Structure 1
Amino acid sequence: MNAPGLLIGAARSSSGKTTLTLGLMRALTRRGLRVAPVKCGPDYIDPAFHAAATGRDGVNLDSWAMEAHLIESLAAKVSAGADIVLAEGAMGLFDGAPGGAAGVGASADIAALLGWPVVLIHDVTGQGQTAAAIVRGVAGHDARVKVAGVVLNRVGSERHRRLAGEAIEALGLPVFGALPRNERVSLPERHLGLVQAGETQGLDERLEALADFIEAHVDVDVIVACATIAATSNVIPDASRKRSDRESSVTPDAPVAAVDSRSPAPRASGMTGVVATAPPAQRIAVARDDAFSFFYPHLAQNWRDAGAEVFFFSPLADAAPPEDCDLCWLPGGYPELHAGRLSAAQGFMKGLRRFAQRGWLHGECGGYMVLGRALIDAAGEAHEMAGLLELETSFARRKLHLGYRQARLAADHPLGAVGVRLRGHEFHYATVLREEGAPFALARDAYSDDERPAGLATNGVSGSFFHLLA
């Protein structure tokens, strides 16, 4: 059977989902439990923190971009050999967009599809009993979704905790804990979100501090029991019972519904693993370092399951893509923060130009910018790039571009024949100064049928700001 799962959700962004999720992940991991991490929605940064907290790679699940069978398959694969799956929601629990493959892209869709109860973390800043009205609305909004209980966040005092907590408990919803205001447990941020896990100084100590913080103020045992009990029944454990009286406390000697790690966990439909589709090439080189870190692991796994080989290399280490590969994939990331180093990495740049003469090069977002003529950083300094596409971009003039995208290939491509539709998203601040040539795809957002040219493609080199999800 699959490991039991639990989703951390909220009424809005910046409510404390990441704080609670990372704290729980590390707290359970150091107890000896095998925690499988999941991020709902399109996000590259949070999963790296999840991996650091648990020691296990996770997966992104997105109901707008992915069909239900792919979501179920990925969830089954990540839960194999785990004791519990912890999923971090995105934005508000029901926030999404129309026209999705298996839903609207809301975290609630994932909880409903996989039968995971939701622990709601609610920021009570500026609220007392009104918090109960908001929680009541969230808990009753969608009959498919079971809210198991609530954790209060940014509580100012014991009186504040009682005002909000007792009003919520009067609804019949347990309050699993209350986090006091504490800016010392926050993680550093930059323009696309948190500073990447690999660049966060003292990350392990920060994660330990988060785990200590959650253990001190939240009933971790009863939250875990919610997942195990919900996997077999609709009963939510009583958070008001004393720890010593509880029947469902979790220790490393009594793991939660452990899965036999010798075999993959089955999907509810009887299938296992990721549904394989034709890979874009047989041997695929993927750039991976601090400048090119925005790559979804399930894509590489899907390609491997379909028989392809995937090889990683580091442009910041001045490595060229392996010459025996058929496709070079440059993911997004933060090339604007490393533009000088990339421009000076002539082994990498010359390697790209050589590769373009015999294989296919594709760049997503940051990778797309590196394939262009020039990249202007936030200080206004221009850096020469590979010069394989007629593209110039700038971070000196920033504008946010954000949202789901459906793209239709404008010509035959390793990803498919002309007209094949891809689902993904766009998230960047770059401004395009010049973009000339045939488009890679025709793309539209979730709110319009108006297709517009996206990216460029010429002579075996292509790219766009579009990030592929499915």
Structure 2
Amino acid sequence: MTRSLVISAPASGVGKTTVTLALARAYRDRGLKVQCFKSGPDYIDPAFHTAATGRASVNIDGWAMHREAIEALASRGADADLILAEGSMGLFDGVAAPGVSSTGSTSDIAEMMGWPVLLVIDPSGQAQTAAAVAAGLRDFRAGLRLAGVVLNRVASARHEDLVRRAMARVGIAVFGALPRYAAITLPKRHLGLVQAEEQAELIDLIAEAARFVTGHVDLDALLQSAACAWAAPRAVRRLNITPPGQHIALARDAAFSFVYPHLLEAWRAAGAEISTFSPLADEGPDASADVCWLPGGYPELHADRLAANTRFRGALRSFAETRPVHGECGGYMVLGTALTDADGVRHEMAGLLGLETSFAQRRMHLGYRLAELAMPMPGYQTGARLRGHEFHYSAIVSQPDTPLAVVRDATGAVVAETGSRRGHATGTFFHLIAEDR
């Protein structure tokens, strides 16, 4: 039996990621095998998890994935001593209409898997009310088991005592209380946390967070609370994700790094070969590949270099003369005609599509997407239904090409970001998570 915990909170921004990383590293330092997961669509947290545990972390998503796919991904923790699944947003936050398995909330995953929940509670600006919040979350829906809480950013010993006493009165275990400590704060960026591969001091930061948590959390009691009845399924199905080609040239660097690990694993499991190249290093796709895939990332932060890298853009254009090229979100923008950065500077892109985008006036596009293809794209024919997620701050200046798909949000409403196709080039603003079947 593997011990498991879902780490959640009443809301975003209370320290779930920091606590997850600290606990993962602290238990690893004790000699335990720790397997992390991320509930919901997120590229950045799994990379941090991997750095903390030494084991690849993957996303599990109740809105986009069928239960058997979630169980297949969760089975990678069968040989672990402890599973830590980091939630997204607040414990019960999901979309209004359920997807293939659930609304996408962290609580749905916890209930589906039978994993107990550890709440990270930030009692800043309150005391006993924190216990009312925790008790409300515990009692909001039957079927969830609350292991207890870790208090984060407590102001003083007196503050901690007030909250602990209130938690005791409502029967909620407090496994530890963390004082405010800026040294373990992860830096931010406009789309979320800075990526793990960009932080040279990440390992030291995680190690310091682990030492800090070890000194303030009862790790033995918390580990005991993680006992649950879940066991990995004996027969594990392969994920139902079609690779876009037999040999995939994948753009991979600081500008193109938003790739779901489960997607790459599924491609390889289906027999596909993946070779990477760096547009920022002015490299083009492998000439022997039969498809090129440009994932999302932060091209707007590197737009001047991408515009100046004529070897990359020339090689990409030559590739697209005979073979398919697909871009997701940032990759889609780079396949377009031009990208205007946040300072209003217009940069020429690859020009394989007529799309022109701008970050000059930030407008957030966020949410799950269900796409029905009106045109084929690599790996999928017309009529295929794909589930994904969109998150960016760019605006469409022009999108003149043939729409790639009819795209709807989680409520079923049609969105304007249809993706597009021109010749062998295709692109979408949403990132593919799973096939809808």
| TM-score range for the pair, normalised by the shorter chain length | over 0.9
Superposition map of 1:326-341 within 5 A: 326-341=290-305
TM-score (norm 1): 0.89
Pairwise CA distance, 1:338: 0.9
Give the structure 2 partner of residue 254 of structure 1. none
Q: Partner amino acid for 1:213?
A: F
3-state SS of paired residue (2:285): coil
Report the equivalent of 2:254: 290
Number of the residue aligned with 2:80: 82
CA deviations on 1:311-362 (whole Å, 9 max, x unpaired) are: 2222112221111111111000001111111122222111111110111100
> Where in structure 2 are the equivalents of 1:57-136 lying within 5 Å?
57-77=56-76, 79-97=77-95, 98-136=97-135
Deviation at 1:277, TM superposition (A): 4.2
C-alpha distance in structure 2 between counterparts of 1:405 and 1:62, whole Å: 13
Give me the whole-angstrom Cα distance separating, in 1, the residues matched to 2:223 and 2:308. 50
AA at the equivalent of 1:40: S
Q: By how many angstroms is 1:466 displaced?
A: 0.8
Question: In structure 2, what residue type is equivalent to 1:380?
Answer: G
The answer on whether the counterparts of 1:9 and 1:89 sit within 8 Å (CA) in structure 2 is yes
Structure 2 residue matching 1:148: 3-state secondary structure: strand
Equivalent position to 2:323, from 356, 359, 368: 359
In structure 2, C-alpha distance between the alignment counterparts of 1:51 and 1:453, rounded to whole Å: 32
Superposed displacement of residue 89, structure 1: 0.6
Residues 238-249 of structure 1: pairs in structure 2 closer than 5 A: none
Please report the TM-score for the alignment, with normalisation by the length of structure 2. Answer: 0.95
Q: Secondary structure at the match of 1:66?
A: coil
Q: Is the 8 A contact 1:118 1:145 kept in 2?
A: yes
For the residues of structure 1 that align with 2:237 and 2:414, how far apart are their CA atoms? 36
Q: Percent identity?
A: 53
Deviation (angstroms), 1:273: 5.2
Shift of 1:230: 2.2
Residue of structure 2 equivalent to 1:271: 235
Give the structure 2 partner of residue 54 of structure 1.
53
Q: 1:13 to 1:278 in 2, by over 3 A?
A: closer
Answering whether residue 369 of structure 2 is matched by residue 405 of structure 1, we say: yes
Give the residue type in structure 2 aligned to 1:47.
Answer: P
The Cα of 1:106 is off from its aligned counterpart by 0.5
Amino acid at match of 1:184: A
1:260-297 C-alpha deviation (Å, 9 max, x unpaired): xxxxxx842x3225334442211111111110010001
DSSP-derived class of the 2:89 partner:
coil
Residue segments in structure 1 that go unaligned for 5+ positions in a row: 233-265
**Secondary structure of the corresponding residue to residue 230 of structure 1:** coil
Q: What secondary structure sits across from 2:388 in the alignment?
A: strand
1:31 aligns to 2:40 (yes or no): no
Contact 2:417 2:429 (C-alpha < 8 Å) held by counterparts? no
* 2:283 aligned residue: 319
Residue 38 to residue 453, structure 1, CA distance change in 2 (3 Å): closer
Q: Please give the alpha-carbon distance, in whole angstroms, between the structure 2 residues aligned to 1:25 and 1:273.
A: 27
2: distance between equivalents of 1:276 and 1:404? 19
Closer, same or farther: CA 352–207 of 1 in aligned 2, 3 Å: same
Question: Please, which moves more after superposition, 138-147 or 302-311?
Answer: 302-311
Return closer, same or farther for 1:452/1:194 CA change in 2, 3 Å cut-off.
Answer: closer
Instruction: From the superposition, tell whether residues 427 and 8 of structure 1 become closer, same or farther in structure 2 (CA, over 3 Å).
Output: same
Aligned residue for 1:160?
159
Query: How big is the alpha-carbon RMSD for the aligned residues of Structure 1 and Structure 2?
Result: 1.6
CA distance in 1, matches of 2:206, 2:152: 18
What's 1:428 paired with? Answer: 392
**How many matched pairs?**
433
Partner of 1:189: 188
> Counterpart of 1:445?
409
Between the aligned partners of 2:220 and 2:86, the Cα distance in structure 1 is 18
